[in-house]
Amino acid sequence: LRSMAGGLFASYRALLADPNQIALLALKVAFLCGLSLVLTVVPIHATAAWGASAADLGKLYSLVTLLSLVVSPLAGLLADRIGRPTLALCGSLATALSVACMPLA
């Protein structure tokens, strides 16, 4: 069991020795923090400001999920054309901009 754990940690150390992997991990953590913020704040704001019901919030999240199902394959094709790092950067900037604009909604 110790040798398995040692091998696992060695794999993680090797991954974290690569600056690209560290940047990708930081980007993923930032994205998940933003997503957690959105999933927490949007229902509170929608209920307080717009009087949204639980059914309205369910429709909102269903719409987001359906859009994700449609856009994900297209994003994969786009990533193959322009490159994953470029697409990740553009997506991160778009996400940051949309989160920054949330107080204006």
Mean pLDDT per segment of 10 residues, for the chain of length 105 residues?
Answer: 69 86 88 85 87 90 92 92 90 86 79
Amino acid letter for position 11: S
Domain holding 36, by residue range, is: 32-104
**DSSP summary character for residue 90:** H
Provide the 10 A C-beta neighbour count for residue 42: 17
Q: 82 in a domain, yes or no?
A: yes
Q: Is residue 83 part of a domain?
A: yes
The number of folded domains in the chain is 1
What is the largest distance, in Å, between two alpha-carbon atoms of the chain? Answer: 57
